[in-house]
Amino acid sequence: MTPLPVKISLFVTDVDGTLTDGGMYYTAEGEYMKRFDTRDAKGLERLRAAGVEVAIVTQEASPIVLARAAKMGLARVHIGERDKLGRVKAICAELGIDLAAVAYVGDDVNDLEVMAAVGRSFAPADAQPPVAEAASVRLTRTGGHGAVREAAEWVLAHAL
């Protein structure tokens, strides 16, 4: 059953397992790389063009995320965030919107608190089982392979 439409004003996504496949590539020096899907970036661009604010909130404190977000032109990027719900609430307060107007994409148990609090939650096809169960929309694509784009297109089609 698809939930009733909610008007979305803010789209928030995690990174590892949503914008990436969750894999991290390390060198002997300890540096690592992440793989991002350009189609996800286009989905975020389309949301912004439609007037939806976009934010990244992730526990991982990765400069790679900052570099990718800068390339996408995103200003609301919060890395190393242990209290994801607190950060989402702070963004909502700054924008003057209610949590019900937020869409969130998450894939692991540290996303559950935010997913339960917002108006619409999405889980990639390869999300952890409790997250998939909690999501209001289960995506058909996996993290790092178009899941965020699929969520963005859903919002564009159903929640503006």
Residues of the chain with pLDDT under 70: 1-5
pLDDT of 3 reads: 52
144: its two tokens? 């790092």
Predicted confidence at residue 30, as pLDDT, reads 82
Which amino acid is located at 76 in the chain? R
Tokens encoding 98: 């209610």
pLDDT at 5: 57
Q: Which amino acid would we find at residue 78? A: H
Taken in order of first residue, the domains within the chain and their CATH numbers are 10-158 (3.40.50.1000)
119-122: long-range contacts (C-beta < 8 A, 24 or more apart)?
119/6, 119/8, 120/3, 120/6, 120/8, 120/155, 120/159, 122/147, 122/150, 122/151, 122/154
- At residue 29, the pLDDT reads 86
pLDDT score, position 1: 42
> Each residue of 29-47: pLDDT tens digit?
887 899 999 999 999 999 9
